[in-house]
Structure 1
Amino acid sequence: MKESTKLIVLSHMRPKGDSGVQTHALQVLALAQARGVESVLRTPYDRQRTAFSRAQSQLLKRVRNVAPYFAESRLWALDDAELARGLGQELSGREGTVVLYAQSPRSALVAKEAASRAGITHRLVWTAHFNVSEATEAVNRGSIEVNSFGYRRRERDEAKAMEIADAVTTPSLFLRDILCTRHLDFADKVVHVPNFVNLPETAHSADGGVVEVRWDLISIGSLERRKNQAFLLDVLYEAKKLGHSYSLNLVGDGPDRELLEGKVDHLQLRDQVTFSGAVLDAGTLIAHARAFVHSSLQENLPIAIIEALAAGRPVFAGAVGGIPELISDDIEGFIWPLEDPKSAAQILINIFNTSDRLSSSGLAARRRFRKNFSPEAAGNRLLSTLLGAHYAS
């Protein structure tokens, strides 16, 4: 690695949190530093904001329900300005090449403008964490409507980010194909590089270590409509009707928590379901469950499932998005029908009644992780994509 090259990871999210985006950014930073690459993470939250800026933010958040698009635009502008200011300071007086790794189209746009102002030699790469597009994802969350101002702005940002980037990485082949189809003129910029994780060794227990099992099942993700955790509760209910009771830890928080807690009470599952809320480094909890369960209706290449593979735990999930790139049915895990909780419950019962299938799937999960999604495999591949000739693994 040449000393004159620096990697700057950029994100509009807080440096630490329970999202896959935050996990990815921090793990890229840690891997780069471990490999001797000069690197840093920049976000809009790197310094305390002025009293005036904080007052603006509070006011805009209060009027969000009345004027959502105005409030969003102004809040975005404040965050963009903070990110640009911090990046500008990072680039000031810098010599040599800088590699800018943005975690969203917006971050890419801010990075490009700041680097151009600084007049510094740079390579810009951004990664697509979204499912299909950020606009579509926001619609599915219920935060914007199709063809609204917010929708069109997200679409414009994505198109512009495709144009200005030197490369765009996609964790899944599923999303690579979508981006190449939607942006034919820039398809040659799109590079498939899978996500990776680097869990502490204490979480890796499937092939030898002894870890206390606290739950039968665990699921990690924000509690929102597209994550579909209500399906998991229906599966538990159907299994219970057949005489099988399984404990489940739902890790994460979000707008659907109250609805899900109400459903737990309605189905009389309170003694089976734990709501752990948002947890930092939630992946380390997976080894304390017998299996990982996933219910999302849309996915790219979920880091939580990769963490389950790393922990040597079989995965139950629907065949959506990039998930079939992570597990093969009846090998590293089991594909279940997201539209049919009764059938899914029967799959769960059949597997749990055959303990050797759980253990063999766990071992297969670990093998697949090491081969495809470990720092040595996918992590080095990402650094090579970002840094090119400046990096030697």
Structure 2
Amino acid sequence: MKILQALFFPPEQPGGVSSMIPYILERFQSPNWEMDLFSLPKRIRGKGSEPVSFETFDWNEYGDSLIVQKYMQTYKDYVWWTKLRIQKEYDLIHAHHPIAALVMKELFPKTPLIMTIHSSFEQELILNKRIEANGPEYHFLTSLYRELEEKADLIMTVSESFKKYLDGFLVEAEKVEVLPNGFDEKRFKPISHDNVVPQLITVCRLVPAKGIDVLLEACSMLKQRGLDYVLHIIGDGPIREDLEHKAQQLGIYDETIFYGYMLHPEEFMPFSDIFVLPSRAEAFGSVFAEAALCWLALVGTEVGGISEQIEDGVNGLLVPVDDAAKLAEALERVMTDSQFRYELARAAWTKAKGTYSLSRIVNELKLTYMRFRKAT
């Protein structure tokens, strides 16, 4: 069976989706499966010029928005690049971004299409203060869900909470199937260590949606209580300078290390004790599963896929969004009780190993793909 995995970002780009798919491809290398990856290189800009129309809405209603204009130009570029590069037929296309899905169905209408919706771009833009809630960009981006429902043969997503979110935009949301992200267990190697000073770590893009400002405030409270720690922040983004300035203002700059982007943070995480990320929204939160596989105690917020991964008090701790005081309390609890921290980390590792194992996810994907093989 010949399958095309259609990405938006190239596999070498940071992020759970693009970095996960190559590991899936490795598991499909057998005489019965042939799988290719496809994505739009970053250097391709402004090449496409063909007109675009959708079946379920008129995108031109939102065409005055610069964000919508940029989105549609990227769509046209994806069309241009796909026509240039894809010369063979596939039995199935599995897309991981709305642009990739809609372009593939436009160019290969007879090929079955699976679309996995991994996140909410509109919610990310709202939280990052790029667009207004209920504004034209929001309506454009959420209209794409209905277009995907019209075009795709199957829609999948990564968490039950995000499936519920889609219910507001789809006609038959009950048909959406849930399959979480999978992680290659061989990439994660827990290391036995004994840190005298608790090591806190977070890995994310530095944007408002990730709540790192709240984390810094919580860490300031910990310092005021006389608790020692080191906070490792791996990632880069548009608000890094603001966060560094905030750490200085709060008097915790000496306890905080900003590393910038790191290609393989999973090689660094096992030396820490606690993974913490107070996101304001997460469809899944891949980095929590990765941290769990590194045998870290988890602290996160009660949102989206995070609250599905963490059972509060069992394999991690959950706190309300934007509540620095509650976050500080949770961190203090795991910092000062090493036995509790160990039990949380062990339970998190056990759940991640069983639920988010790449082997299990690949087996589920094979069963899904085989349904379309019978139909062809």
The TM-score bracket by the shorter chain reads 0.7 to 0.9
State the aligned residue count: 359
Q: Which residue of the partner structure matches residue 319 of structure 2? A: 336
Contact 1:283 1:304 in 2 (8 A): no
Say if 2:329 is the partner of 1:346: yes
Q: Which residue of the partner structure matches residue 214 of structure 2? A: 231
Say if 2:82 is the partner of 1:87: yes
Q: Which residue of the partner structure matches residue 175 of structure 2? A: 189
Q: Distance in 2 between matches of 1:20 and 1:344?
A: 25
Q: Distance in 2 between matches of 1:326 and 1:318?
A: 11
**Residue 49 and residue 191 in structure 1: after superposition, are their counterparts in 2 closer, same or farther (change >3 A)?**
closer
Q: Which residue of the partner structure matches residue 361 of structure 1? A: 344
Contact 2:320 2:326 in 1 (8 A): yes
Q: Distance in 2 between matches of 1:267 and 1:40?
A: 49
Structure 2 residues without counterparts, runs of 5 or longer: 49-62
Contact 2:117 2:157 in 1 (8 A): yes
**Residue 91 and residue 212 in structure 1: after superposition, are their counterparts in 2 closer, same or farther (change >3 A)?**
farther
Question: Map of 1:210-229 to 2, 5 A cutoff?
Answer: 210=192, 216-229=199-212
Q: Which residue of the partner structure matches residue 172 of structure 1? A: 159
Q: Which residue of the partner structure matches residue 61 of structure 1? A: none
Say if 2:147 is the partner of 1:163: no
Q: Which residue of the partner structure matches residue 189 of structure 2? A: 204
What amino acid sits opposite 1:187 in the alignment? A
Q: Which residue of the partner structure matches residue 304 of structure 2? A: 321
Q: Which residue of the partner structure matches residue 19 of structure 1? A: 15
Q: Distance in 2 between matches of 1:278 and 1:28?
A: 24
**Residue 70 and residue 319 in structure 1: after superposition, are their counterparts in 2 closer, same or farther (change >3 A)?**
closer
Question: Map of 1:237-386 to 2, 5 A cutoff?
Answer: 237-386=220-369
Q: Distance in 1 between matches of 2:169 and 2:80?
A: 32
Contact 1:215 1:288 in 2 (8 A): no
SS in 2 for 1:45: coil
After TM superposition, the structure 1 stretch with the greater mean CA deviation from structure 2, 32-41 or 341-350, is 32-41
SS in 2 for 1:350: helix
Shift of residue 160, structure 1, vs aligned partner: 0.5
Say if 2:116 is the partner of 1:127: yes
**TM-score, normalising length: structure 2:** 0.86
Shift of residue 257, structure 1, vs aligned partner: 1.0
Q: Distance in 2 between matches of 1:241 and 1:17?
A: 38
Q: Distance in 2 between matches of 1:71 and 1:327?
A: 38
Contact 2:218 2:327 in 1 (8 A): yes
Shift of residue 226, structure 1, vs aligned partner: 1.4
Structure 1 residues without counterparts, runs of 5 or longer: 55-67
Q: Distance in 2 between matches of 1:34 and 1:269?
A: 52
Say if 2:7 is the partner of 1:7: no
Counting aligned pairs with the same residue, the percent is: 23
Contact 1:69 1:150 in 2 (8 A): no
After TM superposition, the structure 1 stretch with the greater mean CA deviation from structure 2, 336-345 or 5-14, is 336-345
Q: Distance in 2 between matches of 1:293 and 1:333?
A: 10
Contact 2:301 2:320 in 1 (8 A): yes
What amino acid sits opposite 2:39 in the alignment? T
Contact 1:10 1:43 in 2 (8 A): yes
What amino acid sits opposite 1:170 in the alignment? T
Q: Which residue of the partner structure matches residue 55 of structure 2? A: none
**TM-score, normalising length: structure 1:** 0.82
Q: Distance in 2 between matches of 1:230 and 1:146?
A: 22
Q: Distance in 1 between matches of 2:256 and 2:27?
A: 35
SS in 2 for 1:322: helix
- Structural RMSD (CA): 2.8
Deviation string 1:304-358 (CA, Å, 9 cap, x unpaired) is 0010111111101111112121011122111234443233323322222221111
SS in 2 for 1:363: helix
Q: Which residue of the partner structure matches residue 153 of structure 1? A: 140
Deviation string 1:42-91 (CA, Å, 9 cap, x unpaired) is 11118x659x849xxxxxxxxxxxxx956545543443344334434565
Deviation string 1:102-134 (CA, Å, 9 cap, x unpaired) is 112222111101112xxxx42211111124xx3
